[in-house]
Amino acid sequence: MNLDSVVSRAFAMPLTSPAFPLGPYRFVEREYFIITYRTDPDRLREVVPEPLTPTQPLVHYEFIRMPDSTGFGDYTESGQVIPVEFEGQAGSYTLAMYLDNHPPIAGGRELWGFPKKLASPTLHTHIDTLVGTLDYGPVRVAMGTMGYKHKTLDAQEQARMLAKPNFLLKIIPHVNGSPRICELVRYYLSDIRMRGAWSGPASLQLAPHALAPVADLPVLEVVEARHLVADLTLDLGEVVYDYLAK
């Protein structure tokens, strides 16, 4: 394989059999269970990197089912997303995500900089209750519940919320262990088609774990919960801040 061929084919690893295909990445019937809770503002500031700033002491804890996604297949993920601002623009910062499928772990980390780790999340309906769980190995570190479809939400308003910018801290090390890439990335969801949006009474339990530290942002009060189903496209991102530029 000549030098030009290496460069032209080098979008993912392994070179001759990439872990994921080129996008765009379309998701059909993507199901969200999002519990918004109030947390300790000092701990929140400790985990949000400048130049992002947290707007309120709130965290969105998410369980997401993705039964049909381009190139990634069928998987579930769970994690914490924080409302932030960047240069006056309101958006969300993804702190950590845990999922059960290698291609979206590899693609998420390599392309956008999603902070993804391997774990075992679930999202399902049990009789009258929407239930989300996250297990890291044999340990249950998160469990959320919500009354199933107690109240219908404005689908268009929820679509506008999904369309807001999202921010990630992309880190790729050099072979000597120093940071080779350290960038703040912004990406959007587009072509959003809402299939439904609901709310209901909810609860959230987080347990301490050394390698899945979701409980480091403690639940002080559950503010609201949302259950959304949508078709959407995950767009590629753009670099908005380079930590190594100076």
- Catalytic machinery residues: 116
Give all strands (DSSP E) within 53-112, no chain letters: 53-54, 58-69, 73-86, 89-99
* CA proximity to 40, closest of 54, 29, 28: 54
Instruction: Give the DSSP H/E element, type plus range, for residue 18.
Output: none
Do 161 and 97 contact (CB within 8 A), yes or no?
A: no
What's the rounded Cα separation, in Å, for the pair 74 and 115?
Answer: 19
State both tokens at 161. 């919320």
State both tokens at 169. 């801290």
Distances in whole angstroms, Cα of residue 190 to Cα of each of 60, 111, 187, 193:
20, 17, 10, 9
What's the rounded Cα separation, in Å, for the pair 17 and 65?
Answer: 26
